């Protein structure tokens, strides 16, 4: 499973030889292994991939990949013994890239942004079932019933615990339910923190969701992107389908809001820039909090050999350090790498006419 640590490794990796990056959609609903292998060979040939890397990638798909995922990302630089493969549970557009020194990471940034680090809680008056949802993979990990915690791993069963006997007989049911709800919220908050959750989904009845939400700290309340009616005994497939559905819808809505804020800020000249060159300048200055890019947008540019300043405009020497420029095939990819390596966010928008009309790229700034 791809993690932020994996992404950081790819971001930091710098080779002395070309790096082959392969993204292959292997969704079983759209074809079988033979179909995808044929597509892979065609794309490797079309890109004129280095022979050693192409051979290693084909060997991986012939001998190691189990074809159970819906896509896979592979990176290879065989002259330096570098090879990484990440099966993914969400589909991705097939493509092959060859960069002079770095892996092509832009598609991974998009995946982690859209489907990375969700927390899902199913709630009722007795407790909660908790799930982690990451890049299309749903794992039921823990649950709580009353005071006792039960652990449910890999879809396994659980044993009920909680308050029984005299305590339950003496305490009014309403009070028990409220106490359970509070304890479930506390336990869920701890679970979300441990799993570095960035988005929260809550399932249950409308009343239980409202009561549970009220007990969550405001930090976690602010990360709730959706709630849905569902039974506590729902299957993994039901929960996964809901998580994917709400995740996609919430991501589109989030993207639209981000673009609206960006356009407003840029028009006022406050904490926002639009179009390639202005965005690249902000990236160089380290001011970018969130980089927004239209899916598939790439543009040639120029990189200073001294300070790595990026620009879309040709120039003889760098205005910052006086060194010469090197022409690069995709300045957007370099911008993505720099923003991610400095702790910023990258939003890759699937469809947004507003951003398209403003040059396909822009950035919300730290200052």
Q: What percent of the chain has pLDDT over 90?
A: 70
Phi-psi region of 255 (alpha: psi -120 to 50; beta: other; left: phi over 0): alpha
| Average pLDDT of the chain, as a whole number | 89
Q: Are strands 345-349 and 288-294 parallel, antiparallel or unpaired?
A: parallel
Q: Are strands 71-77 and 310-311 parallel, antiparallel or unpaired?
A: unpaired
Using pLDDT thresholds of 50, 70 and 90, give the confidence band for residue 173: confident
Q: What percent of the chain has pLDDT over 70?
A: 93
pLDDT tens-digit series, residues 104-161? 998 888 788 778 899 999 999 989 999 999 988 899 987 777 644 334 344 443 343 4
- What local confidence, expressed as pLDDT, does residue 99 receive? 92
Q: Compute the chain's Rg from CA coordinates.
A: 24
Are residues 332 and 361 in contact, defined by beta-carbon separation less than 8 angstroms? yes
Asked if pLDDT for residue 163 goes beyond 70, the answer is: no
Query: Could you tell me which of 240, 350, 338, 255 has the C-alpha nearest to residue 295?
Result: 350
Tokens representing residue 119 in the block: 């927390």
Using pLDDT thresholds of 50, 70 and 90, give the confidence band for residue 262: very high
Residue with tokens 């097939």: 94
Query: Could you tell me which of 24, 93, 10, 17 has the C-alpha nearest to residue 61?
Result: 24
- What local confidence, expressed as pLDDT, does residue 251 receive? 83
Are residues 314 and 325 in contact, defined by beta-carbon separation less than 8 angstroms? yes
What does the alpha-carbon distance between residue 285 and residue 283 come to, in Å, rounded to a whole number?
Answer: 5
Per-residue pLDDT, averaged over 313-322, amounts to 91
Are residues 346 and 293 in contact, defined by beta-carbon separation less than 8 angstroms? yes
- pTM higher than 0.85 for the full model? no
pLDDT tens-digit series, residues 32-61? 999 999 999 999 999 999 999 999 999 999
Residue with tokens 């159970």: 68
Per-residue pLDDT, averaged over 184-206, amounts to 94
Q: Are strands 272-274 and 361-365 parallel, antiparallel or unpaired?
A: antiparallel
Q: Are strands 224-228 and 82-88 parallel, antiparallel or unpaired?
A: unpaired
């Amino acid at each position: 499973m791809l993690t932020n640590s994996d992404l950081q490794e790819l971001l930091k990796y710098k080779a002395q030889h070309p790096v082959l990056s392969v993204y292959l959609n292997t969704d079983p609903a759209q074809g079988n292994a033979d179909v995808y292998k044929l597509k892979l060979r065609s794309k490797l040939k079309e890109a004129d991939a280095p022979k050693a890397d192409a051979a290693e990638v084909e060997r991986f798909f012939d001998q190691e990949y189990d074809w159970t995922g819906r896509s896979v990302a592979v990176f290879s630089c065989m002259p330096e013994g570098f090879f990484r493969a990440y099966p993914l549970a969400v589909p991705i557009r097939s493509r092959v890239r060859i960069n002079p020194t770095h892996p092509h990471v832009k598609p991974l940034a998009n995946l982690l942004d859209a489907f990375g680090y969700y927390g899902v809680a199913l709630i009722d008056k007795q407790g909660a079932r908790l799930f982690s949802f990451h890049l299309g993979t749903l794992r039921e990990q823990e649950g709580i019933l009353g005071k006792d915690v039960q652990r449910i791993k890999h879809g396994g069963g659980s044993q009920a615990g909680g308050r029984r006997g005299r305590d339950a007989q003496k305490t009014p049911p309403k009070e028990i339910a409220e106490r359970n709800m509070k304890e479930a919220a506390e336990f869920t908050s701890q679970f979300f923190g441990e799993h570095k959750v960035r988005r929260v989904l809550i399932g249950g009845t409308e009343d239980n969701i409202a009561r549970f939400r009220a007990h969550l700290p405001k930090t976690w309340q602010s990360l709730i992107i959706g709630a849905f009616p569902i039974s506590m005994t729902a299957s993994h497939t039901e929960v996964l389908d809901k998580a994917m559905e709400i995740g996609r819808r919430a991501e589109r809505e989030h993207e639209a809001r981000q673009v609206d804020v960006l356009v407003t800020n840029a028009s006022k000249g406050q904490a926002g820039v639009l179009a390639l060159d202005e965005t690249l300048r902000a990236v160089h200055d380290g001011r970018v909090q969130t980089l927004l890019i239209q899916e598939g947008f790439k543009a040639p540019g120029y990189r200073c050999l001294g300070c790595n300043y990026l620009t879309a405009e040709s120039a003889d020497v760098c205005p910052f350090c006086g060194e010469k420029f090197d022409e690069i095939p995709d300045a957007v990819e370099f911008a993505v790498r720099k923003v991610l390596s400095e702790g910023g966010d990258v939003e890759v928008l699937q469809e947004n006419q507003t951003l398209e009309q403003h040059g396909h790229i822009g950035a919300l700034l730290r200052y």
